[in-house]
Amino acid sequence: MDERPVKAAVLVIGDEILSGRTQDVNIRQIAEFLGPLGITLGEARVVSDVQADIVAALNALRARWDYVFTTGGIGPTHDDITADAVAAAFGRSIDVREDALAILREWYAKSGTELTQARLRMARIPEGAVLIDNPVTGAPGFQIENVFVLAGVPKIARGMLEDIAHRLEGGAVTRSLSIRLEGVREGDIAEILGQAAKDFPAVSTGSYPWFQEREGGELSRGVAVVLRSADDDALEKAGQVLKMQLAAQS
C-alpha cells in the first residue's frame, strides 16, 4: 500500500455558479469519485469566464496539487473559453484537431445534427493533449499533464471521470466511520473530541451539527461525528473509544 497522500484540486469555471443561478455539484461529485481511488481534495476554486482568472488559478493549482480537475466552459458558445485558457496556461498552441473532429463528425452523423461552425469550437484541443471520452454528448474533454478538463454539466462530467479513473495514481485509501448522536450539541462533546484528536493522530475527527424537523413540527438536534483515516486499525480503535465516551456523555 502506497502511503503517500495523493491530493487533488477542483477548478470550477463559470459565471453561472458565481451568480447563484446554478448550484455546483461537481466539487462534491469529484470528491466522492476520488475517495475510493485514494485521492482526496485539498482545495477547490470557482472562477468566472475570464481568461486571466482561469490561467492564474490553474497555474497555482497544478503547481501545488497532484491532479487538477476543471469543470465547465468547453461547450460551443462564445463564453466557452476553457480550452483556450488551459492552452495559454501551459503555453501551448490550440486549434481544431483532427481526432476530436472525427469524434464530433461521427457523433453528429449518428444523431442527424449539423456540425456547425460553432460546434467546431468543441474540437479545439491544445497541442499534445490526450482526449477524454464523453459518453453522454460526444464532445471530448482532454488531459494535459496533471490537468483534466471536464464538462460542466454534472452527468457529462461524471461520464468523463469514468474514462480517466485508470489514468490516476491513488494513494492510501481513506476510510471513514460515522457516529450519529441525538440530543447532543457540539459543545457537549468538544473536549472528548479534542482529546481523541490528540490520542489518535492518524485519525482525523470532524463533528457536524444537524437539525431535523419531526412530524408535528418538533425540532430535534444532534451531532454527526466522523472519523477518517488511512490506517484501518487506528480508525477502529478510535471508533470504539469514542463510541464509549460519547455514549456516556449523551
Tell me if 229 contacts a copy of itself by CB under 8 A.
Answer: no
Tell me if 193 contacts a copy of itself by CB under 8 A.
Answer: yes
CA distance 97 to 127: 8
- Among residues 32, 106, 162, 182, which is the contact residue for a copy of itself, using CB under 8 A? 32
Tell me if 204 contacts a copy of itself by CB under 8 A.
Answer: yes
C-alpha cell at 41: 481534495
State the minimum distance, in angstroms, from the CB of residue 176 to a copy of itself: 8
Tell me if 25 contacts a copy of itself by CB under 8 A.
Answer: yes
Tell me if 59 contacts a copy of itself by CB under 8 A.
Answer: no
Tell me if 48 contacts a copy of itself by CB under 8 A.
Answer: yes
- Among residues 13, 38, 40, 86, which is the contact residue for a copy of itself, using CB under 8 A? 40
Q: Residue 67, Cβ neighbours under 10 Å: how many? A: 26
Q: Residue 184, Cβ neighbours under 10 Å: how many? A: 18
CA distance 236 to 203: 10
State the minimum distance, in angstroms, from the CB of residue 24 to a copy of itself: 7
Tell me if 119 contacts a copy of itself by CB under 8 A.
Answer: yes
C-alpha cell at 37: 481511488
Tell me if 94 contacts a copy of itself by CB under 8 A.
Answer: no
> Do residues 220 and 240 lie in contact, with contact meaning Cβ atoms separated by under 8 Å?
no
C-alpha cell at 32: 466522492
- Among residues 4, 105, 155, 180, which is the contact residue for a copy of itself, using CB under 8 A? 155
Tell me if 15 contacts a copy of itself by CB under 8 A.
Answer: yes
Tell me if 116 contacts a copy of itself by CB under 8 A.
Answer: yes
**Which of 21, 27, 22 minimizes the C-alpha distance to 44?**
27
- Among residues 79, 133, 231, 236, which is the contact residue for a copy of itself, using CB under 8 A? 79
What element of type H or E holds 148? strand 147-150
C-alpha cell at 65: 496539487
Q: How many residues bind a copy of itself (CB under 8 A)?
A: 62
- Among residues 5, 37, 42, 146, which is the contact residue for a copy of itself, using CB under 8 A? 42
**H-assigned helices in the chain:** 15-18, 26-34, 51-64, 82-90, 98-111, 117-120, 154-164, 186-199, 232-249
C-alpha cell at 187: 459543545
Residues that bind a copy of itself (CB under 8 A): 15-25, 27-32, 35, 40-48, 53, 75-79, 113, 116-119, 121-122, 153, 155, 176, 185-191, 193-194, 197, 204-209, 211, 226, 228
